[in-house]
Chains A and B, each alone.
Chain A
Amino acid sequence: MIRKQIDIYLEALAGYINDDDKLVTYKWLSKELGIHVNLSKQLLFEYWETQRVQKNHVISATFLLMGYVKEREMRVEVVKEDHMASAKEKFEKIISEHIYSLQKTLPEIELLAITDKGDSQLSAVHSSQSVLRSDHEMEVLRWGSALLANKQMKNNTQITAPKVRANANTESKLTDQAKNVKESGAKSTTNKTAAANSSAKTQKTAFNNFFAKAIDKQSKEKTSVKGVKSKPVASSSSLTTTSPHKNNWFEEKKKPISSDNKEAKENPENISDSKKPKLNEDKEKSPKTNLPKKNAWFEAKKKPPSTSDKEAKVQVESCSDSKKANVEKFEEKSPQTEKVSKQESAVKNLSSGKTGDKKKVASSSRGKKRKTSSKGENTNKKRKRIVVISSDESSDDSETRDDIEEPDSSEEPPQVVERVKSSPSPPLVKCEGGRRKVRKLVDKTFVDEDGYFVTQKEYVYESCSDKEEEMPVEAAKPSTADVAAKTANKRKQVSLLNFFKKS
């Protein structure tokens, strides 16, 4: 039965390679056949083996090597079959080795970059932190977020504004104000490069402080309403709040009632704690840990009591909290519970008002979502949309926030740049060490073992200054010609008598 199925797969694979003349990577194959990547790899290997044994039709294969190179660095490399031996020499320890792709012929290995992506649902590794970026997001990363982000924001604000107005006049004023501040904040952050990230962050928090003050002045109702706008980001994107969160909630409930002093003491700690990891994250773009997230929650919850109307809010929180947990499980479909949870969350967010916090919660819980429900990003996105629709009172505002944050959060430069390099379409321009470098197609000529001149076209990053562009290319050609000329000149004509004896 299983064998039958595999035979069908193999037949399909043969068709892809021979008839369709495709570059069949294991990822592509897994997506095409809807099978797990490991099975896909095995299929490729089996096909390759049989072809090799038969020897009737030689197909070319590329292999993916993963391991530690001699400098103790991790390296992942895709090599052609013929270069396997030399490629392996570079590695000190090879962790993984499997077929990357099969194809009839592969004149240039770079061609593999144009193959389609796999489906992450079928991949062997599920990362809770990984986010599949859309083409648009990648565009933003490549071409600078400023332009696109601005466009995006304009659109969003245009859409959201009318709806907000419909809700309430007082509300709309507030949201407009908030939006303006947020936008400017977001713009500044998106405009900044990775190096400036941390400063952008502090700026943001400064804005948030400002919010908190402004909000304090406002009436309670307003604040709650305002909060509704921002909270759904967290709740919607973090559809599954996990137990630690709940615990935090309960803890919180108790704390404010019991003693204000404690909180007052704790608050600064929490704030500083939460800030530190944030900064680190922004710099390193390391996976988000639970700790800062918790702190964020703490912060959010603790602030309101300290400012005003502690008990009332806390009560709201407490009742809504339990509900919210349920609600979230059922994807927040009942409007009543939603409202309550919104109110409660509104209070929290208002007081803390930190976009960074929310972002963390959002992204981390997004990751969890993937773990628990084995669905991919697509479903995740869908859900987000559902929530947005259901909380249409002011959720658009939250959307704007979300969008503003998106490019910001995806601005994870060090890793991203690295990834972009090997991605299907490497960027034309990249920055390295403060210099702009341009990706160019360059002819490389050299003499191979057999004495043939080999000219290869390679993509090379070159600095933009004209001098440097031209020099290496020009220098390379004469040198090879010189060598040839020299070797030719060195040769000496010998007499035939050296070979043939007189008889």
Chain B
Amino acid sequence: MFEARLVQSAILKKVLEAIKDLLTEATFDCSDSGIQLQAMDNAHVSLVSLNLRSDGFDKYRCDRNLSMGMNLGNMTKIMKCAGAEDTVTMKAQDNADVVAFMFESKNQEKVSDYEMKLMNLDQEHLGIPETDYSCIVKMPSQEFARICRDLSQFGESMAISCTKEGVKFSSAGDIGSANIKLAQTANVDAEEEAVVIEMQEPVSLTFACRYLNSFTKATPLSAQVQLSMSADVPLVVEYKIGELGHIRYYLAPKIEDEDN
């Protein structure tokens, strides 16, 4: 028996919005510790890692480990049926082939039940090694979204260069080039609005704008985003989801074509 209850259904809606661009279907792994999701996009370039801790839910119960393969498009449809203020409860029986979503409005005046068929998905878990990243940049998530949006106009890929002084995003293409430099914030009043750089050594990597733009769909989840980079290692873009957990995106860098 699996049951998870969130007073704010909006969080689940946002999580779904944050991953449905990259993934069409995904496996939710439910355990005593919480819900985890890990999946690569079809091109195997990026990876989404979602972690929702059990203690973050208003009510959480998971008797046996459970893997639920879901079509995210369909799940989105169901989640759209929930009101903004509704409470959501996910329920599933052990070895069941359906998952139930129950939306309750405030004061329990309206209760909606939805059932969605589960899918059998190939489990493709990747082992992600612990990495000491050379550069960790924390910055406002909206700023990052804006930069990705702006730079993707100039080219398919953008370079992220990080030095002690700041982080630079640059892109070049047919119409010209674009460079955005962010300096480290001197006075940190509001932590979420600051640009903070922890750097061991300077890093410069190039990534596909398309994926970064998809990552920024998670912007509503958190005011701050954390970019972790090391040379020749996938970029990690992490958004915290309040007390509930986090969503991490991994993106393989573009590297020099050895054929040339």
Cβ–Cβ contact B44 & A496, under 8 A: yes
Cβ–Cβ contact B126 & A503, under 8 A: yes
Minimum distance in angstroms from B63 CB to a CB of chain A: 25
Minimum distance in angstroms from A170 CB to a CB of chain B: 82
Residue A2 is within 8 A (CB to CB) of chain B in the complex? no
Cβ–Cβ contact B46 & A496, under 8 A: yes
Chain A residues near B206: list those with CB within 8 A.
488, 491
Assembly CA distance A488 to B40 (angstroms): 24
Chain A residues near B159: list those with CB within 8 A.
451, 488
Chain A residues near B260: list those with CB within 8 A.
490
Chain A residues near B124: list those with CB within 8 A.
502
Q: Which of A453, A494, A501 contacts B126 (CB 8 A)?
A: A501
Mark each residue of chain A from 480 to 503: 1 if its CB lies under 8 Å from any CB of chain B, else 0.
010011001011111111111111
CB contact list, B212-260 vs A, under 8 A:
233-234, 250-257, 260
Cβ–Cβ contact A500 & B172, under 8 A: no
Residue A418 is within 8 A (CB to CB) of chain B in the complex? no
Mark each residue of chain B from 153 to 165: 1 if its CB lies under 8 Å from any CB of chain A, else 0.
0011101010100
Cβ–Cβ contact B255 & A491, under 8 A: yes
Cβ–Cβ contact A481 & B126, under 8 A: no
Chain A residues near B254: list those with CB within 8 A.
491-494
Residue B76 is within 8 A (CB to CB) of chain A in the complex? no
Q: Which of A453, A485, A490 contacts B257 (CB 8 A)?
A: A490
Task: Give the interface centre of B126, B129, B161, B208 by most chain A CB atoms within 10 Å.
Answer: B126
Cβ–Cβ contact B252 & A496, under 8 A: yes
Chain A residues near B127: list those with CB within 8 A.
500-503
Cβ–Cβ contact A485 & B234, under 8 A: no
User: DSSP class of A's interface residues: helix, strand, loop or mixed?
Assistant: mixed
Known: A450-B163, A493-B208, A503-B127. A488 touches B155 (CB 8 A): yes
Cβ–Cβ contact B45 & A493, under 8 A: yes
Cβ–Cβ contact A496 & B172, under 8 A: no
Chain A residues near B161: list those with CB within 8 A.
450-452
Cβ–Cβ contact A491 & B126, under 8 A: no
Assembly CA distance A501 to B40 (angstroms): 12
Cβ–Cβ contact B257 & A492, under 8 A: yes
Residue B30 is within 8 A (CB to CB) of chain A in the complex? no
> How many of chain B's residues have a CB under 8 angstroms from any CB in A?
42
Residue B142 is within 8 A (CB to CB) of chain A in the complex? no
Minimum distance in angstroms from B19 CB to a CB of chain A: 16
Assembly CA distance A488 to B172 (angstroms): 7
Residue B134 is within 8 A (CB to CB) of chain A in the complex? no
Task: Give the interface centre of A481, A484, A495, A503 by most chain B CB atoms within 10 Å.
Answer: A484
Chain B residues near A494: list those with CB within 8 A.
45, 252-255
Residue B179 is within 8 A (CB to CB) of chain A in the complex? yes
Assembly CA distance A392 to B218 (angstroms): 94
Assembly CA distance A495 to B44 (angstroms): 5
Minimum distance in angstroms from A475 CB to a CB of chain B: 16
Assembly CA distance A452 to B177 (angstroms): 12
Residue of A nearest to B171 (CB): A488
> How many of chain A's residues have a CB under 8 angstroms from any CB in B?
22
Minimum distance in angstroms from A71 CB to a CB of chain B: 37
Residue B204 is within 8 A (CB to CB) of chain A in the complex? yes
Assembly CA distance A490 to B155 (angstroms): 13
CB contact list, A428-458 vs B, under 8 A:
450-453
Q: Which of B128, B172, B233, B234 contacts A481 (CB 8 A)?
A: B172
Known: A450-B163, A485-B172, A496-B252. A491 touches B157 (CB 8 A): yes
Assembly CA distance A492 to B234 (angstroms): 14
Minimum distance in angstroms from B161 CB to a CB of chain A: 6
CB contact list, A325-353 vs B, under 8 A:
none
Q: Which of A450, A485, A502 contacts B125 (CB 8 A)?
A: A502
Minimum distance in angstroms from B40 CB to a CB of chain A: 6
Assembly CA distance A503 to B126 (angstroms): 5
Q: Which of A450, A481, A492, A496 contacts B250 (CB 8 A)?
A: A496
Q: Which of B171, B204, B233 contacts A451 (CB 8 A)?
A: B204
Chain A residues near B171: list those with CB within 8 A.
488
Minimum distance in angstroms from A455 CB to a CB of chain B: 11
CB contact list, A355-402 vs B, under 8 A:
none
CB contact list, B118-159 vs A, under 8 A:
124-129, 155-157, 159
Cβ–Cβ contact B126 & A484, under 8 A: no
Minimum distance in angstroms from A228 CB to a CB of chain B: 74
Residue of A nearest to B126 (CB): A500
Chain A residues near B176: list those with CB within 8 A.
481
Q: Which of B173, B177, B204, B252 contacts A499 (CB 8 A)?
A: B252
Assembly CA distance A36 to B161 (angstroms): 49
Residue of A nearest to B211 (CB): A493
Cβ–Cβ contact B47 & A500, under 8 A: yes
Minimum distance in angstroms from A276 CB to a CB of chain B: 64
Minimum distance in angstroms from A378 CB to a CB of chain B: 49
Cβ–Cβ contact A495 & B45, under 8 A: yes
Known: A451-B159, A494-B253. A499 touches B44 (CB 8 A): no
Cβ–Cβ contact B233 & A499, under 8 A: yes
Chain B residues near A450: list those with CB within 8 A.
161, 163, 202, 204
Assembly CA distance A22 to B140 (angstroms): 39
Residue B61 is within 8 A (CB to CB) of chain A in the complex? no
Residue B20 is within 8 A (CB to CB) of chain A in the complex? no
Assembly CA distance A245 to B129 (angstroms): 94
Chain B residues near A493: list those with CB within 8 A.
43, 45, 208, 252, 254
Minimum distance in angstroms from A298 CB to a CB of chain B: 72
Residue B168 is within 8 A (CB to CB) of chain A in the complex? yes
Residue of A nearest to B207 (CB): A493
CB contact list, B67-122 vs A, under 8 A:
none
Chain B residues near A490: list those with CB within 8 A.
256-257, 260
Cβ–Cβ contact B255 & A496, under 8 A: no
Task: Give the interface centre of A450, A481, A484, A500 by most chain B CB atoms within 10 Å.
Answer: A500
Assembly CA distance A41 to B15 (angstroms): 66
Minimum distance in angstroms from B179 CB to a CB of chain A: 6
Cβ–Cβ contact B257 & A497, under 8 A: no
Assembly CA distance A497 to B168 (angstroms): 27
Known: A452-B168, A493-B208, A499-B233. A485 touches B253 (CB 8 A): no
Assembly CA distance A451 to B124 (angstroms): 38
Residue of A nearest to B202 (CB): A450
Task: Give the interface centre of A450, A451, A499, A503 by most chain B CB atoms within 10 Å.
Answer: A499
User: In the complex, given contacts A490-B260, A491-B206, what are 19 additional A-B residue pairs having Cβ atoms less than 8 angstroms apart?
Assistant: A451-B159, A451-B161, A451-B204, A481-B177, A484-B172, A490-B257, A491-B254, A492-B255, A492-B257, A493-B43, A494-B255, A495-B44, A496-B40, A496-B45, A496-B252, A500-B126, A500-B129, A502-B126, A503-B126
Query: Which are the 5 A-B pairs with shortest beta-carbon distances?
Result: A491-B254, A484-B172, A500-B126, A503-B127, A492-B257
15 of the cross-chain contacts (CB-CB < 8 Å) are A451-B159, A451-B204, A488-B156, A488-B157, A488-B172, A491-B157, A492-B255, A493-B252, A494-B253, A494-B254, A496-B45, A496-B251, A499-B252, A500-B126, A502-B125
